[in-house]
Structure 1
Amino acid sequence: MIWAGFFLMSLVAVLFATWPVFGHSRAEIAVEDGTSAVLIDQLDEVKRDLDRGLISAEEAAAAQLEIKRRILTLSRKITDTRFLPSRDGKTVVFLAALFVPFIAIGYYSMNGALVEQNQAFAEQQKEQAAEQKITDLTQKLRDRLVNDPNGGASDGWMLLGQTYMRMGRYDDAVQAFDIISVRARATSETWSRLAEALILAQDGVVTPRAETAIDQALALNASNPAAVFFRARFLKQAGDATAAHALLVSRLNEAEGFAPWMETFVIEANRVGSEIGLAPVDLADFAPAATPGPSAEDVAAAGDMSEEDRSAFIRSMVERLANRLEDKPDDLDGWMRLANAYSVLGERENAISAYEKASALLQDAPVTDPRRQNIERALLELKG
């Protein structure tokens, strides 16, 4: 529609610009041609009056001189006026006037498109450079581990496997986790990560090899949330949705306070439960929030606020949580919630600080605690 508007405005402008070329000259020449004919008739009339004796020879000569002078003046004017474009010339003028706006629009459209393409290309180049840097660093880490005469540190292989997972290179992640899973000090987390890599490498299908990894993880730690989740996935895949749902709910009941993995469990439990006609479960049934959220009155009030007031309201709640954590600095889940809130608000530095405080509180927690993975992933994204 906008281009149609541009077309109509350009057409009107062209008509205004070229109208004098097409209309004015013809009328002007027609009038002046008629005036010239009248003066010629007047010369004949003066001659007839002289022949009839109505005027003297001197008067006739003076009248004829005046009429001829006027004819000469008029002839010069007509010559100047007729020095106008021919029909072909008018066509050229019209076409030129018509196409100039479109040529200009085309030029600026192409120029603008090129600028946008250049900007998009620059952003793409920047992203590719960052990806290439990660790829290079990952390859260097792998080379160092492979060339280590002692087989490479388990922590290094774990980091390599996690990096491959984030890059979507699941087969490579399987190889990295495989190496440390057979070592004497392999943990439940090692086996559950191997299981996850095997499942993702097969587009979500729990293969027999993945089932073995799940069993090993549960044998080392029956409460490992990741291993329990994948066991439930296997049961659902095997056609026993009831057992899968019961396993998820059972693990939720065992939780002591809120943990981020519980949200995933609730979603999965409700997805499986909906297929077999079970009532949905609620996170609040298993882990009342350690940090109270907004009341119903707060939510209702926020809905009536302007965008600016709503933003200020949300920030006030975040500040309230931050102030509470100053009095209770050992609240790990509180720091994680604060970090997540800062991330949503776009306050990167504050989010990093909150996640680092949460990470410090995890030093004495089991290595299989899924919050470690969540914090590591969040910090990597924020610092990257």
Structure 2
Amino acid sequence: MVIWIILLAMTAAAVMAVLWPLSRQRNVGRQMDPDTLFYREQIAEIERDLGRGVLLASEAEAAKAEAGRRLLRAMGLPGGEAFAAVGEPALRRRRAASTLVLSIIPLLALATYEIYGSPQLLSQPPGARMQPPQQQAGNLDLLGAVAEIEAHLAKNPQDGRGWEVIAPVYLRMGRIDDAVKAYEAAVRYQSPDAVRLSNYGEALVLAKDGLISAEAQGAFEQAIKLDPSAPKAKFYLARAAVQDGQGEKARTILQSLLASSPADAPWVDAVRQELAALGAPQPEAAPAGAPQVGPEAIAGMVAGLASRLETQGGSAEEWTRLMRSYAVLGQRDKAADAARRAREALAQDTEALKTIDTMAQELKLTDAQP
């Protein structure tokens, strides 16, 4: 009920702000141009309303701008014509029409809101009504927990355990760069650990859209030194070998990982898929219903991107995406060729060429260097 009283009071104030100058009595006989005096008075009234706090500054500026434009138009008319067009009867008719219109508008607005609006949703955040109550509560709890941890870490930036707790939450929220920084801090401020290093490397891979950078590979290699059986590290080192064009090395790593893993290990299906993509024989068939990788589908998407860039051209970012995709698929010759074609297509763009060269160095495409 309180919100309706506030809204009605605001509507009444806005209406009175416009009607008040229309209701003022003027000595028309002493005016050379009633329109001119009317708009001058309206501007002055807007200033007074602004001073009293009836109007916001933005509303006052908009109202003054409109009144000023009308004032200029009125001042440009011949004096005798303006006086004849807006005499006292016309002025009274204009006031009556304005009063009627300004009274109907808020009534129509309130009626429309009553039919189509939902006053009870004013306190809900955007998009909240699209989620079930349980999900809303879960999101609020998650955001609240993240805010508390972030506040704690702001005061205790060397709390490695705190960084390790919030890093996977950042991944869940899609904040990949924040997750990378959190895992990096967790590694820095805690003792070496294979799982922690593997998670840090994985975050780096996600940040690079699947590319195993030198930094990520270093993290995985450190993890293997601490724990030669670390499954996540071995899996990504196999992918790194594929990117470097060492398919046989990748198959050896994956087959070793598969042989040493329990049959129900959560990563077994992913390992089988990687081996299938490499064309390697597997010790046993994958379980029925297990998700399968579609190398042909992936290759088809990459081929589509390559065809579009070849015929229509594209940005440096699109060319580097093509280079990265070929590298991830282990097709280093095609990645190098894409780098050469990108340099030809972007020969006149110095910044774009720098982007291509940086990606070529990151992918270790030494044969594609200019």
Q: Give the TM-score category using the shorter length.
A: 0.3 to 0.5
Which structure has the bigger radius of gyration? 1
- Output the TM-score relative to the length of structure 2: 0.40
